[in-house]
C-alpha cells in the first residue's frame, strides 16, 4: 500500500485507541461508540481497496519512436517487446502487474485490447497501455481509440527527432477530448543529437528542436506543455544516465501522479467525508480532555505552591496536644530515669514532682487525648483535600463540564488510599510517642553531685573538729593525730553546737540538692523541647508524604489524560491537531 494511505490509517488507529482508553471519560453513549467503530471499519475497508485502483498510463506515438523501450525503462525491467505488437496492430496492449487489478474502466471500454502481465515491482500500481501507432490507425478505428484515451489517467505522447514535426501527430492531438493538463510529451532518442558531433553543437540543435516542438504544441492547443527529452534505450540499458537525459524526471512525475490519484480516490470514495464526521463528533471530547488536562495541571501547581501552608495548618492541630500530653509524657519518661539525681537532689525532685503534678493522668485519659489529637490532624488534612476537590470540580464546570461528573474524573482528586495510609501512620506515631525518647545517661552529672556532697560533708567534719584539731593534725600528721581529729569532731556533733551545725549541714545539703535538681531540670527540659521538635517534624514529614502522594496521583492522572488526548491530537485535521 502506498505511503499516502498511512496517515489516514494512523488517524483511524489513534481514534480507535482514544475510544478504547478514554471510554470511561467520554460523554458518548456505548451505542455511539460502537457506531463510530463501525464507521471506522467501513473507512478502513475502503482504504484497503484504494491501492487496488491502479494509475492507467497511455503511451501513444508514431511508428518507430521507441514506445516499447520507454515502457521497459519505466518498469526498469523488460515487459514489452515488438512481438507483442505484430499480431495486433490495431489493439491496445495492456501491461499489468500479476498482483494488480485491472481498472474497471478498461473492462467497459469498446476498444479491442490485449493484456500482458509482468512482475516488475517498480510499476506494481501502474497499468501501462501501449496504444496503436497513430500513423497506422485505420480511420474506422480512430474514433474508438480516441474514446479509449478518455479512460486513461494520464497520456504520454512520444516523438522522436525524425518525427517531431509530423502533421498527423498534431492533428490527432487536436482531436483528443482529454484534459490537456494530463498530457506529457517525450522527445525520445535524444541521444541522436549527441552522436558523433561536439557537445555544444548537439545542445544547440536539441534546444532548437525543443523550442520548435513547444511552438507546435501550443498551436495544437496545449498552453503549457510538459516536455521531456530522453533516451529510453540509455535509461533501460545503463545505470548512469547522461546529464541531458530527463528520464528520471519523467519517471518521478508519473509516480507523483500515482500518489495524487490515490488521494483523489480517497476523496471520491467518501473516506474524507466519513472521517470528518467522526472528527466532528470527537471534537467536543478532545476539548473536554484538553480542559481536564489543563485543570489537573493547574491543580498540581496550586498544591505545590500551597504545600508549606497546608503542612503548617495541619501541624497546628497537634500543637495543643503536644504541649498538654506529649510534653508530660516525655518529662515523666526522663524524670523516671532520674537516678541521675542522688542524695538531697533526688528528694527535691520527688517534692517538685508532687508539688507541680508533673506526672500525667491515667492511661485511659491519655488514650482519649491521643485519639483526639490524631483525629484533629486527619480532619485537617481531609478538609484541605475536600477544599481542593471542590475547587477542582468547580474549575471543570467552568470549562464546560456538566453534572454529574464521571466517577473516573472524581477519583482523580479522591485518593482514598492516600488518606487511609495517612490515618494509619498518624495513629501509629501518636500511639507510641515515647519510642522517640532515647536512653538517658547522666554518669558525669552523678559524679559531679557526689563530689559536691563530699565537699559539703568534709567541710562539716572540719567545722566540728575545731581550729585546735586542725592545727594539731597539720603539725603532727600521723594516724593518732587523725584519730584524735575524728573523735573530737564526733563528740562535737552531739553537743548543742554540733546539733546546730548539723541543722546547717542539712540546709546546705538541701540547697546544693536543689541546685542539682535545677540543673537536671534544665537539661531535661532542653531534651524534651528537642524531642517535641523531632516529634513535630515527624508529623510534618507524614503530612509532606501525604501531599506528595496526592501530587504524584494527580500527575499520573494528568499524564494518562494527556496520553489519551495525544492519540488523536496529531490527526491530519486542523481542528484536532491543536496541542493542549
**What pLDDT digit, counting tens, does each position of 90-105 carry?**
788 999 988 887 877 7
Strands of the sheet containing 154-159, edge to edge, are 113-118, 92-97, 126-130, 55-61, 154-159, 183-187, 227-229
Residue 504, all three cell numbers? 546547717
| Three-class HEC string of 4-40 | HHHHHHHHHHHHHHHHHHCHHHCCCCHHHHHHHHHHH
Instruction: For residue 421, count other CB atoms closer than 10 A to its CB.
Output: 15
| Parts of the chain with a pLDDT under 50 | 1-4, 337, 355-360, 572-580
DSSP 325: I
Residue partners of 84: CB distance under 8 A and separation at least 6:
68, 93, 114, 116, 130
Residue 502, all three cell numbers? 548539723
pLDDT of residue 580: 36
DSSP 193: G
Q: Could you give the maximum distance between any two Cα atoms of the chain, in Å?
A: 167
Candidates 430, 397, 419, 451; CA nearest to 553 is: 419
* Structural contact between residues 311 and 544, judged by C-beta atoms closer than 8 angstroms: yes
pLDDT of residue 249: 92
Taking the C-alpha atoms of residue 174 and residue 165, their distance in angstroms, rounded to an integer, is: 14
* Structural contact between residues 43 and 275, judged by C-beta atoms closer than 8 angstroms: yes
Q: Alpha carbon of 218 to those of 206, 214, 249, 415, 554: distances in Å?
A: 18, 6, 22, 77, 69
Residue 290, all three cell numbers? 484538553
Taking the C-alpha atoms of residue 54 and residue 261, their distance in angstroms, rounded to an integer, is: 9
Q: Model pTM?
A: 0.50
pLDDT of residue 492: 65
* Structural contact between residues 557 and 565, judged by C-beta atoms closer than 8 angstroms: no
Amino acid at each position: 500500500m502506498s505511503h499516502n494511505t498511512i496517515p489516514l490509517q494512523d488517524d483511524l488507529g489513534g481514534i480507535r485507541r482514544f475510544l478504547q482508553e478514554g471510554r470511561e471519560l467520554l460523554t458518548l453513549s456505548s451505542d455511539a461508540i460502537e457506531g463510530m467503530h463501525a464507521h471506522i471499519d467501513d473507512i478502513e475497508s475502503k482504504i484497503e481497496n484504494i491501492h487496488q485502483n491502479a494509475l492507467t498510463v497511455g503511451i501513444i506515438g508514431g511508428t518507430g519512436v521507441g514506445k516499447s523501450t520507454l515502457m521497459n525503462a519505466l518498469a526498469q525491467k523488460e515487459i514489452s517487446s515488438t512481438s507483442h505488437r505484430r499480431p495486433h496492430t490495431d489493439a491496445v496492449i495492456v501491461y499489468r502487474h500479476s498482483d494488480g487489478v485491472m481498472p474497471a474502466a478498461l473492462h467497459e471500454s469498446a476498444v479491442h485490447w490485449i493484456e500482458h502481465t509482468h512482475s516488475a515491482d517498480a510499476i506494481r500500481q501502474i497499468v501501462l497501455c501501449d496504444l496503436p501507432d497513430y500513423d497506422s490507425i485505420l480511420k474506422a478505428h480512430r474514433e474508438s481509440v480516441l474514446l479509449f484515451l478518455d479512460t486513461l489517467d494520464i497520456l504520454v505522447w512520444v516523438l522522436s527527432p525524425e518525427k517531431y514535426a509530423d502533421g498527423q501527430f498534431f492533428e490527432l492531438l487536436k482531436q483528443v477530448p482529454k484534459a490537456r493538463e494530463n498530457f506529457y510529451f517525450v522527445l525520445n532518442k535524444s541521444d541522436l543529437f549527441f552522436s558523433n558531433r561536439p557537445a555544444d553543437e548537439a545542445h544547440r540543435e536539441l534546444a532548437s528542436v525543443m523550442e520548435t516542438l513547444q511552438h507546435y504544441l501550443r498551436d495544437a492547443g496545449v498552453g503549457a506543455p510538459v516536455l521531456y527529452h530522453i533516451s529510453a534505450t540509455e535509461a533501460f540499458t545503463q545505470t548512469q544516465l547522461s546529464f541531458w537525459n530527463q528520464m528520471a524526471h519523467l519517471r518521478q512525475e508519473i509516480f507523483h501522479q500515482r500518489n495524487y490519484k490515490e488521494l483523489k480516490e480517497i476523496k471520491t470514495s467518501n473516506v474524507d467525508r466519513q472521517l470528518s464526521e467522526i472528527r466532528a463528533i470527537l471534537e467536543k471530547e478532545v476539548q473536554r480532555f484538553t480542559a481536564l488536562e489543563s485543570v489537573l495541571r493547574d491543580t498540581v501547581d496550586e498544591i505545590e505552591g500551597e504545600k508549606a501552608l497546608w503542612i503548617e495548618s495541619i501541624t497546628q492541630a497537634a500543637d495543643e496536644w503536644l504541649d498538654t500530653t506529649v510534653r508530660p509524657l516525655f518529662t515523666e519518661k526522663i524524670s523516671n530515669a532520674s537516678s541521675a539525681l542522688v542524695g538531697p537532689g533526688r528528694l527535691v525532685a520527688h517534692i517538685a514532682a508532687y508539688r507541680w503534678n508533673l506526672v500525667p493522668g491515667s492511661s485511659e485519659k491519655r488514650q482519649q487525648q491521643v485519639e483526639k489529637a490524631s483525629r484533629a490532624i486527619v480532619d485537617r488534612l481531609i478538609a484541605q483535600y475536600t477544599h481542593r476537590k471542590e475547587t477542582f470540580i468547580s474549575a471543570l464546570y467552568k470549562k464546560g463540564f456538566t453534572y454529574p461528573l464521571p466517577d473516573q474524573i472524581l477519583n482523580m482528586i479522591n485518593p482514598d488510599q492516600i488518606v487511609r495510609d495517612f490515618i494509619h501512620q498518624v495513629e501509629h506515631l501518636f500511639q507510641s510517642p515515647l519510642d522517640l525518647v532515647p536512653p538517658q545517661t547522666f554518669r558525669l552529672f552523678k559524679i559531679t553531685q557526689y563530689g559536691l556532697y563530699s565537699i559539703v560533708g568534709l567541710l562539716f567534719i572540719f567545722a566540728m573538729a575545731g581550729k585546735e584539731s586542725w592545727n594539731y593534725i597539720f603539725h603532727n600528721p600521723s594516724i593518732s593525730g587523725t584519730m584524735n581529729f575524728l573523735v573530737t569532731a564526733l563528740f562535737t556533733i552531739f553537743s548543742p553546737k554540733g546539733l546546730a551545725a548539723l541543722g546547717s549541714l542539712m540546709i546546705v545539703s538541701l540547697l546544693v540538692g536543689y541546685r542539682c535538681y535545677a540543673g537536671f531540670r534544665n537539661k531535661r527540659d532542653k531534651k524534651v523541647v528537642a524531642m517535641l521538635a523531632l516529634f513535630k517534624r515527624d508529623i510534618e514529614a507524614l503530612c509532606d508524604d501525604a501531599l506528595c502522594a496526592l501530587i504524584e496521583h494527580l500527575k499520573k492522572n494528568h499524564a494518562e489524560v494527556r496520553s489519551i488526548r495525544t492519540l488523536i491530537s496529531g490527526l491530519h485535521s486542523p481542528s484536532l491537531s491543536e496541542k493542549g
